Amino acid sequence: MAIEALRPPEDAPPPTKAVYDGFAYFQGKIVPFAEANVSIGTHALNYGTACFEGIRGYWNAEQNEIYLLKLAEHYQRFLKSTALLKIKLDESVEQLCELTREVVRRDGYHTDVYVRPLAYKASAMIKVDLHSPEDAVAIFAMPMGAYSRIDGLRVTISSWRRVSDNSIPARAKITGAYINTALATEDANAAGYDDCLMLTEDGHIAEGSAANFFMIQGRTLVTPPVTDDILVGITRAAVMQLAADVELDVVERSIDRTEVYQADEAFLCGTGVQVAPIVEVDGRAVGSGRPGTTTLRLQEAYFRAVRGNDPRYRQWCTPVYGGMPRIT
């Protein structure tokens, strides 16, 4: 199959399109999205006390199916984020997976989708702590195509540092922490870049604004360790698994800023960006200045796997409309 057929359809809606129709899991029921509303007093809205996930579902036209990618893994991370914020949910990983399938099924989408689970401090109260407010969970989905370009990103090193583990832990997907992402992305885009890389407080590469970072040196794939203020990405783990298919060793270690300038290849990966080659950093070409050949092989392997077209990785894919749910 040609790589073009594996990529998200170009006519897929842009990620910024608002969702006003469809359904949501809200207050223990599946309701029309338009009815899933909260008060302006909501703790999470006022203080950023919520955590979330982003899960892609890939439409496979031949199989008439949407495959939710690494569904259980996302909810396992979700429950780790909720534990950090002392959010107690009644729903188990298995139930959240099943509810997600049900929401997308009710939506009836026949396109690539993005699922947003959100666990939040729901009480309307003025008190900044974690144990006082009541907790709630919601799940909704929307159509989504490419989130950012996958044909070569021009990035800058952000002057905003990545939030550190002792301020707001990046390893939990906390809504309030995404101010860090928004500040960095805003400045990078205003300066004409597609995205940025963010440094830890001690000056090592942490990750992209909303994606994990990899560079290729010879036959080695290098990525920052989980202790360098990253969100430990589900896509990062998938890429590390695919690395063996393209005969790459994987090393997790701290990365100096100038190593990126001198890398053979580099790319970002994440649920939103998928596998996105980096071609330029601060006006310096990475490698040849075009998407690297090994990165493109990884990208192709990724798209094949996530659309359910590689039997070796079929266990990554949970069908929405048919088959049995994959419970791990």
Ligand X SMILES: Cc1ncc(COP(=O)(O)O)c(C=O)c1O
Among 270, 277, 308, 319, binds ligand X (CB under 6 A): 270
- Between CA 197 and CA 212 the distance in angstroms is 9
Coil, helix or strand at residue 187: helix
Site for ligand X in 174-193 (CB under 6 A): 181
Per-residue x/- marks for ligand X, 216-255, CB under 6 A?
---------------x-xxxx-------------------
Site for ligand X in 194-213 (CB under 6 A): 207, 210-212
- Between CA 27 and CA 263 the distance in angstroms is 49
> Judged by CB under 6 A, how many residues of this single chain contact ligand X?
14
Name the DSSP letter for residue 314: G
Shortest separation between residue 308's beta carbon and ligand X, angstroms: 18
Shortest separation between residue 68's beta carbon and ligand X, angstroms: 13
- Alpha helices (H) in the chain, listed in sequence order: 3-6, 43-47, 71-84, 93-107, 178-190, 234-242, 257-261, 293-306
Shortest separation between residue 290's beta carbon and ligand X, angstroms: 24
- Between CA 32 and CA 22 the distance in angstroms is 6
Shortest separation between residue 319's beta carbon and ligand X, angstroms: 20
Could you tell me which of 223, 218, 259 has the C-alpha nearest to residue 240? Answer: 223
3-state SS, one letter per residue, for 57-125: EEEECCCCEEEEECHHHHHHHHHHHHHHCCCCCCCCHHHHHHHHHHHHHHHCCCCCEEEEEEEEECCEC
Distances (CA, A) of 69 to 22, 25, 109: 20, 19, 16
Please name the helix (run of DSSP H) or strand (run of DSSP E) that holds residue 151, with its range, or none.
Answer: none
Shortest separation between residue 163's beta carbon and ligand X, angstroms: 9
Shortest separation between residue 191's beta carbon and ligand X, angstroms: 20
Burial class of residue 244 in the structure, from the number of CB atoms within 10 Å of its CB (0-12 exposed, 13-18 middle, 19+ buried): exposed
Site for ligand X in 66-125 (CB under 6 A): none
Question: Would you count residue 271 as binding ligand X (CB under 6 A)?
Answer: yes
Window contacting ligand X (CB under 6 A); options: 186-194, 265-273, 285-293, 318-326 = 265-273
Minimum CB distance to ligand X smaller for 154 or for 236 = 236
Minimum CB distance to ligand X smaller for 23 or for 72 = 72
Minimum CB distance to ligand X smaller for 23 or for 118 = 118
Minimum CB distance to ligand X smaller for 233 or for 319 = 233
Window contacting ligand X (CB under 6 A); options: 8-16, 92-100, 148-156, 264-272 = 264-272
Minimum CB distance to ligand X smaller for 143 or for 272 = 272
Minimum CB distance to ligand X smaller for 23 or for 313 = 313
Window contacting ligand X (CB under 6 A); options: 18-26, 152-160, 256-264, 270-278 = 270-278
**318 neighbors 67 (Cβ within 8 angstroms):** yes
- Between CA 192 and CA 199 the distance in angstroms is 19
Minimum CB distance to ligand X smaller for 76 or for 123 = 76
- Between CA 154 and CA 248 the distance in angstroms is 24
Q: List contacts with ligand X (CB under 6 A).
A: 54, 181, 207, 210-212, 231, 233-236, 270-272
